[in-house]
Structure 1
Amino acid sequence: MMRRRTTLLTGCTALVLALGATACGAGEPVAAGGGDKALDGKTVSVAGVWSGSEQKNFQKVLDAFTEKTGATTEFVSTGDNVSTVVGSKIEGGNAPDVVMVPQVGVLKQFAEAGWLKPLDKKVQGTVEKNFAEVWRNYGSVDGTLYGLYFKAAHKSTVWYSPEALEQAGVTPPKTYDALLKAGRTVSDSGLAAFSVAGQDGWTLTDWFENVYLSQAGPEKYDALAAHEIKWTDPSVVEALTTLGELFEDERLVSGGRKEALTTDFPGSVEKVFGPEPDAAMVYEGDFVAGVAKDQFGKDIGTDADFFPFPPVGDGEAPVVSGGDAAVVLQDGKNAEAGMALLEYLATPEAAAVWAEAGGFLSPNKELDPGSYGDDVTRATAKSLIDAGDSVRFDMSDQAPAAFGGTQGKGEWKILQDFLRDPSDPEKTAAELEKAAAKAYGN
Structure 2
Amino acid sequence: MRRTSRIIRIRGAAALAAGVLAVSLTACGGGGDDDSGGDDEDKGTGDTGTTVTLPKLDGETLEVAAVWTGAEQANFKKVLAEFEKRTGAKVTFVPAQDPIINFLGSKVAGGAPPDVAMLPQPGAIKQAVDKGWAKPLGADAVKELGENYSRGWQDIGTIDGKQYGVYYKAANKSLIWYNAQVFENAGAAEPKTWDELLTAAQTVYDSGVTPFSVGGADGWTLTDWFENVYLSQAGPEKYDQLARHEIKWTDPSVKEALTTLAGIWGKKDYVATGALGTDFPTSVTQTFTGGDQPKAGMVYEGDFAQVNIGETKAKVGTDAKVFPFPAVGDTAPVVSGGDAAVILDDSEAAQALATFLASPDAAEIHAKLGGFLSPNKNVDPSTYPNEVQRKIAEALVASGDDFRFDMSDQAPQAFGGTPGKGEWKALQDFLKNPGDIAGTQAKLEADAAAAYGN
- Could you say which residue in structure 1 is the equivalent of 2:285? 270
Q: Deviations over 1:350-386 (max 9, x none)?
A: 0001101110000000000001010000011112112
Q: 1:427 maps to what in 2?
A: 439
CA deviation after TM superposition for structure 1 residue 144, in Å: 1.1
Instruction: State how far apart, in whole Å, the 2-side matches of 1:356 and 1:339 are.
Output: 25
Determine which of 350, 366, 371 is the counterpart of 2:383: 371
The 1-side partners of 2:355 and 2:340 are apart by 13
What are the within-5 Å matches in structure 2 for residues 158-173 of structure 1? 158-173=176-191
> RMSD value over aligned CA atoms?
1.5
1:370-425 Cα offsets, whole Å, 9 max, x none, are: 01010000011112112222200000000000000001010000000000001021
Q: Look up the equivalent residue of 1:300 and give its one-letter code.
A: V
The 2-side partners of 1:342 and 1:96 are apart by 13
1:281 matched to 2:293? The reply is no
Q: Is residue 89 of structure 2 the alignment partner of residue 71 of structure 1?
A: yes
Distance 1:430 1:142 in 2: 33
List aligned pairs for 1:29-428, cutoff 5 A: 30-31=50-51, 38-255=56-273, 259-275=274-290, 277-293=294-310, 295-312=311-328, 314-329=329-344, 332=345, 335-428=347-440
User: Which whole-Å CA distance do the structure 2 matches of 1:188 and 1:101 have between them?
Assistant: 43
| Matched-pair contact (CA < 8 Å) for 1:414–1:431 | yes
Q: Deviations over 1:25-70 (max 9, x none)?
A: xxx874569x77x111111100011000000000010001001101
* Cα distance, 1:31–1:77 mapped onto 2, change above 3 Å: closer
Query: Normalising by structure 2, what TM-score?
Result: 0.87
Q: Tell whether the 8 Å contact from 2:52 to 2:359 is kept in structure 1 after alignment.
A: no
2:73, 2:51 → 1: CA distance? 28
**Residues 213 and 271 of structure 2 are in contact (CA less than 8 Å); yes or no, is this contact kept in structure 1?**
yes
| 1:290 CA drift (Å) | 1.6
Contact kept, 8 Å, 2:52 with 2:361, in 1: the verdict is: no
SS in structure 2 at match of 1:179: helix
Separation of aligned partners in 2, 1:349 and 1:81: 29
**What is the number of equivalent residue pairs in this alignment?**
407
SS of residue matched to 1:305:
strand
Partner Cα distance (1:42, 1:415) in 2: 45
Residue 275 of structure 1 and its aligned partner are, at CA, apart by 4.0
Paired residue secondary structure (2:287): helix
AA matched with 1:351: A
Counterpart contact for 1:196–1:282, Cα < 8 Å: yes
Higher relative contact order (CA 8 A, sep 6+): 2
Partner deviation per Cα, 1:266-325 (whole Å, 9 max, x = no partner): 1101111124621111000001112102x113221111111000000x321000000000
Q: In the aligned structure 1, how far is the partner of 2:365 from the partner of 2:51?
A: 16
Matched residue, 2:25: none
Residues 275 and 296, structure 1, Cα contact 8 Å, conserved in 2: no
Shift of 1:79: 2.4
Which residues of structure 1 form unaligned runs of 5+?
1-19, 22-27
Question: Tell me, what secondary structure is at the counterpart of 2:216?
Answer: coil
Q: How far off is 1:161 after superposition? A: 1.1
Distance in structure 2 (CA, Å) of the matches to 1:395 and 1:234:
18
The answer to whether the Cα contact below 8 Å between 1:216 and 1:315 also exists between their aligned partners in 2 is: no
**Partner SS, residue 390 of structure 1:** coil
TM-score, normalised by the number of residues in structure 1: 0.90
Structure 2: how far apart are the matches of 1:68 and 1:326? 19
Structure 2: runs of 5+ lacking an equivalent? 1-40, 43-47
SS at match of 1:174: coil
- Please state how far the C-alpha of 1:335 moved relative to its aligned partner: 2.9
- Does the Cα contact within 8 Å between 2:83 and 2:353 map onto a contact in 1? yes
Q: CA separation of 1:31/1:240 partners in 2, compared to 1, >3 Å: closer, same or farther? A: closer
